[in-house]
Chains A and B, each alone.
Chain A
Amino acid sequence: MIELSHIDRHFQVGDQLVKALDDVSLRIEQGEYVSIMGPSGSGKSTLLNLLGLLDKPTGGTYCLNDRDVTSLSDMEQAQVRSREIGFVFQMFHLVPRLTAEENVALPLLLAGVGKEERQALVAPALDALGIAERAHHKPEQLSGGQRQRVAIARATVTHPSVLLADEPTGNLDQHSGDDVIGILEGLVDGGLTLIMVTHDIDMGRRATRQLRMVDGRLDQDIRGAGRGAA
């Protein structure tokens, strides 16, 4: 469960105060499928970064799974990211010199999980995403869709409670994009919370809860729509 109360993220640029997020309050229950839409510069990505503890708010509080994570130290935030949050990026962000299998194992390696246990967790993750036969391929040997599947496997291999996706289909063709969305929605069906930033209105409307950001503020919060309407 995610609860944001009066979150601000302000930047000082020269003499000007830029309000990337302004008094955002939000509660997201476990297993929700949320899309965040809005024009460029509306604060979508800033909100996603704050939710992923990659950035810190300048005001307000953030509770994740009933724990206030607003003012945790860098190390504590890293631990929360490692255990509870998965990221999927538009650019995949796979390490080019590592194989698909090694990329997926990265969060486990950083969490201090031993090699045998890593292998036991990585193999089913790759299998579940249909890329088990690509385990020993490097990113350059994979298609865009396959790379994003590897990235999803990496994001979910630690069994996080929240998956944050930033334009997950933005770099894919229509067919691959549909595949990836199908995979992500399958994860939601399994009980994972999915929060997805997207410019694609059709894609955004598939979510069962649609947030619209304008000028750093939460402009719309539409519930009850979603996959059926797509």
Chain B
Amino acid sequence: MALHSLDVARFSWGALAGYPARTLLMLLAMAIGVGSVVVLTALGEGARGYVAGEFASLGTNLVIVFPGRSETGGVNPGAMFGETPRDLTVEDALALTRNPRVRKVAPLNVGSVPVSRGARSRDVVMMGSTAELLEIRHWEVSQGSFLPPMDVNRPMPVAVIGSKIRDELFGPRKSLGEWVRIGDRRFRIIGVMGSEGRSIGVDVQETIIIPVAAAQQILNTESLFRILVEARSREEIPAVVQFAEDTIQQRHQGEKDVTVVTQDAVLSTFDDILGALTVAVGGIAAISLAVAGILIMNVMLVAVSERTAEIGLLKAVGATRGQILTLILAEATLLSALGAAIGLALGEAGSLAIRSALPILPAYAPAWVTLLVLAVALATGIVFSLLPARNAAALDPVIALSRR
């Protein structure tokens, strides 16, 4: 005696529709569980995507040389702030250009300095570099030009400013060809950065870029903050890393006193951290799925108890234990599937809301999370309904029919 699956679905749907308040409560519990997993993983993925995007904006096939040595791998915090025993110099940067695998090299100094024009003054992030920086960082100039190719040791008094600094110092008036004071020196504005150009820790619109030699004079240092090296292709990155390490070691009297990291390595570290965070918040949200499962079990136990006479009647008219089990489990499955579908819709709506509120976060739950959460929701509903279903199937029809 095999029940037709469509009949099972219709009968189960009728049972659910017959008790709307109970059904809505269970749907709500399951929907909240599924929805929170989807929203939180979307948020986590959004954060990962954001960080990945920020690193991508640093450049392509990028190798970064920091002064100082990290013995255990990864990024040496001291090196990040230039606190190292041996300087990384402009000559070191020049030495790294002597390899056919290297496309471009840009030395980099960074510091905070006061910039003024007339009565207007503010502190800005100043970057000292060369013409290569523009291409390595994939930036664009909206007005004028970037730093011209020149001798890296020449402190030419030219500057490229971010559009925000231009607005603050010049307002609506033209800025190209005008002079500003950076520290105690005067620089002529030769370019304004485009509206794009935001990357980790640096808003290019609030940055001023001058030749590296000039920056070193203002900052009173011979040491570089770092050297950016662009390999010709992704495949050549390991060889370029080795070349950079060997070259600097050779130039520093055999001392391994720099840290060379690739963009991929840094990204991978962040990716691991954010991935772990995503799993953690997803896991916390998944607890609500378990809670929903327990609620389903409780409500189904009550439902079986309330429908004892109905189950007795079903047995009297020929239902087998297996059929009773099937009907109760079908109710739970239908409930879980509906709850999961509503939860998925809520989760997607939540993700959309996050993307609307924070456009920089690509908050999309990954497809595998969607599939997994659906499977877990279904499994939760079914597993937690096994006990009520078994109780129903095991009911003695004589006792069941005597209930009113």
B397 touches A82 (CB 8 A): no
Contacts of B319 in A (CB 8 A): 78, 110
In the bound assembly, the distance between CA atoms of A107 and B314 in angstroms comes to 8
B268-318 residues with Cβ-Cβ distance < 8 A to A are 309-310, 312-318
Q: Does B17 contact A (CB under 8 A)?
A: yes
For residue B173, CB closer than 8 A to chain A, the reply is: no
- Closest residue of A by beta carbon distance from B313: A93
Contact of A75 among B18, B320, B397, B401 (CB under 8 A): B320
Q: Are the C-beta atoms of B317 and A54 separated by less than 8 Å?
A: no
Is B121 part of the contact surface with A, judged by Cβ < 8 Å? no
Determine if A54 and B401 form an interchain contact, defined as CB atoms under 8 angstroms apart.
yes
Q: Which residues of B contact A95 (CB under 8 A)?
A: 310, 313
> Is A87 in contact with B317, judged by CB distance below 8 angstroms?
yes
B1 interface contact, C-beta 8 A: yes
- Contact at A106–B317, with CB atoms within 8 Å? yes
> A79 to B1, Cβ gap below 8 A?
yes
A230 to B314, CA, bound (A): 35
Cα separation A52 to B315 with both chains bound (whole Å): 11
In the bound complex, residues from chain B placing their C-beta under 8 Å from that of A78 are: 1, 315, 318-321, 323
Closest CB-CB distance, B243 to chain A, in whole Å? 76
Contacts of B4 on A, CB cut-off 8 Å? 109, 112, 114-115
Contact partners of A107 in chain B: CB under 8 A: 317-318
B318 with A54: CB separation less than 8 A: no
**Interface status of A97 (Cβ within 8 A of chain B):** yes
A83 to B319 Cα, complex, angstroms: 11
Q: Give B351-404 interface residues, CB cut-off 8 Å to A.
A: 397-398, 401, 404
Check: A212 CB closer than 8 A to any chain B CB.
no
Question: Is the CB–CB distance between B309 and A93 below 8 Å?
Answer: yes
B119 within 8 Å of A by Cβ?
Answer: no
| A91 interface hit (Cβ, 8 Å) | yes
A112, B3: Cβ atoms closer than 8 Å: yes
A79-B1, A97-B15 known; A110 and B314 CB under 8 Å?
yes
A154 vs B316: C-alpha distance when bound (angstroms): 11
C-alpha gap A150/B329 in the complex (Å): 28
Interface residue? A111 (CB, 8 A): yes
For window 313-343 of B, CB contacts with A under 8 Å fall at: 313-323
Instruction: Please determine whether B323 and A110 come into contact, CB atoms closer than 8 angstroms.
Output: yes
Is the beta-carbon distance between B401 and A89 smaller than 8 angstroms? yes
* Closest B residue, CB atoms, query A94: B313
Contact pattern, A 87-119, Cβ under 8 Å of B = 1, otherwise 0 = 101010101111000100011011110110000
